[in-house]
Structure 1
Amino acid sequence: MDNGTNTCDNGFSPETITKKKLTAPVIVIVSIVPVVLLALAVAVCIMLISKRRQKDAVSDAGRSHTEEVLLRNMNLEDCKVQLESKQFTYLQLENITNKFTRVIGQGGFGTVYHGYLEGSTEVAVKLLSGWSSQGMKEFLAETQNLRKVHHKNLVSLVGFCNDGEHMALVYEYLPQGSLHDHLRGKIGLTRPLSWRERLQIALEAAQGLDYLHKGCKQSIIHRDVKPSNILLGHHLEAKIADFGLSKAVLSDAQYVSTVALVGTPGYMDPEYHRTLQLSEKSDVYSFGVVLLEIVTGQPPIVQGTGKVHILERVKPMLNRGDIEEIVDRRLRGKCDVNSVWKVLELAMMCTEEYSAQRPTMADAVVHLRESLTLETSCVRGDSVYSERTGISENSDFRDISGTFGPSAR
């Protein structure tokens, strides 16, 4: 029986809704729903993050707090320095290196092994040794800095490995070893480097360092410039390697304060040694020592000489103009004296006591190009060698040597 009543209305018919205002409880419910949903979403995120951290904690077991912080700060994408670089698993590295059979060097943070990629492309695999804090710091420094650089005179990164407790970097392989190998006469090398080859290597190494100092968006100081970190390709093309100790600095900063002294004895800038203030000129000093090695064939410190530095051994001979005693015996009679003197002059400028008196790496590149031009002209017959002394017969020996006399230095 109808009785004129709509049993389906209950006060919420469309007509009623348009006529009545929403009550306070309804407004509260509508306001709370989004807040509850947001809280649930946050709770789910927290739960997922907690599970991820628990998983990471298991893999990080046994590592020091310092190492955990370093790993947490490491962005794996930063390891992909070039578009063609890739990520390898540890099993792939074992296959590439034939289970790490052939050792070809010792890097800043681990051992370097020889390997082959598919297609017989040779590579060098630098494997992080253990989980030492210092090794991890050098690994991170190398990956972070290599992310920023790409130059023909810097070693290229092929890929990386971050597989559980195994971390590694995979580089292009340079078959002629290092400049150190050639200067020290490593077994297996067929002949000593000619003067022209040494000049070309020095020039290309200088170009690589100049790029690090001025060609990057952020200047990079290598901090370990030495012959063993100058690697040589098939045609003796030189490339700077091992960025484990390198330091990125602001482009307008003249010096960088460091808390610890790092580098290789014999190549270390004395000003940096005294003050712990690092600069691009610290690399310049190290490069100057390398130039002296290239000329003399001798290491910076010879065992059994009371640890007399190469600078102290060379200076007296320079002041006497005794180039025959300075030049590597394997080069005597085979190099242009003008070219040699120019390199020695550059080496002495690079190794000045105070960094402000040293040239830039760009200046060094210019000097080395001029030296190479002199040598090339001589080889083409513009000068005649004296086979006995190695001195060009149409050069004024005394005028050149006078540059290094007591009044000049």
Structure 2
Amino acid sequence: MQSSSIKPRLSFWQLWNMSFGFFGIQFGFALQNANTSRIFSTLGANQDELPLLWLAAPVTGLLVQPIIGYLSDNTWHAKWGRRRPFFFLGALLASIALFLMPNSTALWMAAAVLWMMDAAINISMEPFRAFVGDKLDASQQTAGFAMQTFFIGCGAVIASLLPTLFAWVFHVSNEAVNGSIPDTVRYSFYAGGAVFFFSVLWTVLTSSENPPENLEQFRAERAASRGLGHALKDIFSGFRRMPKTMVQLAFVQFFTWIALFAMWIYTTSAVADNVFGTTDAQSSLYQEAGNWVGTMFAVYSGVSALAAFVLPVFARAFSRKLVHTVCLLIGGLSLISIFLITDKHMLLLPMAGVGVAWASILTMPYAILAGALPAHRMGYYMGVFNFFVVIPQIVSGIVLGFFIKHVFNGHAASTLVLGGISMALAGVLTVFVKDSAKPAG
């Protein structure tokens, strides 16, 4: 369990500053989630190829997150601290990747840049989760993760809407001329690169970190653990010592992220087919559908930003488990309903339900987990926990292409039904999770 020492209670603005970097991180993720399938399709990918092309993202997370978590646990610099060096390095690399992605001229290039972009985003993001455990007492951890969720929602709303805003407000071309990426998407990624870097820099410059409780012991242990072989052994041996709560949450996360991955890959194709009546990725209607999906994703992100401050209230009144269960059931039913909707404006209603689920997904599992982890291994275990975010995405990347081609006859909306069922199952599994920490805000 965590250290019993009481950490000083932080003010609202201290919570704001330490979480603000997530605004930029989610800017990058939202642009990736809303536009990657659109970019791949515009460059000539078939629907059944999309999951395999997306594999770059989860495979990168699988490799990067536990390593970065381990390294950040074993880092201390008098000026930079423990987590902030990784915030800064990841932001720099992610910004470069965001500038490169919309200038891809071939599928292989877009897939390669996706590897770089996802690795860089993970370098920044993973230590942010541990940052809450480092700085906040248990009584503020739910509020800390909720503040992160608020910035995730705000960043995602603006980033998801950017292609539409560039088209409507600045009259930027939304056409895929000669198979190239539309200017609306290119300019959105350029803006995202800048926002990512400066948002993370804000947190780096305005937040401080406390040194390990016993600095001399920390330095001695770090010196003894040097070497790649020792590091890898330490990383993988931790799987055998995962707390029971973490194992239980792993099953919840597995089915949750199968649903989310299906949504991110296939919502554009589903909406283009069901609502706009086209499967031609080069057509203006398909690009219009891509912009509308950005609006849909902005709705779920906006709802999640608002829900982030409401859910801790319900968690205190009832329990974090109950809140997460209900939210996942709402999200699952919302995804399933997309299959039945043919009016684009009506699609905003289920996306609000997905937003409620997304707010809980980004808050409750991490708040529950933080209370079950040893403080000196917070970064490592948060990284390992994200295995259960990326492994289901890898599974989805391998099997969803088969399902859409051989089971669903190319009907992308059917894949969202499968995702909705998976999310509802995750809600049921949450009932069996042990949450021993007091869910204070």
Taking structure 1 as the reference length, the TM-score comes to 0.24
Taking structure 2 as the reference length, the TM-score comes to 0.23
Structure holding more strand per residue:
1
Structure holding more helix per residue:
2
Larger radius of gyration: 1
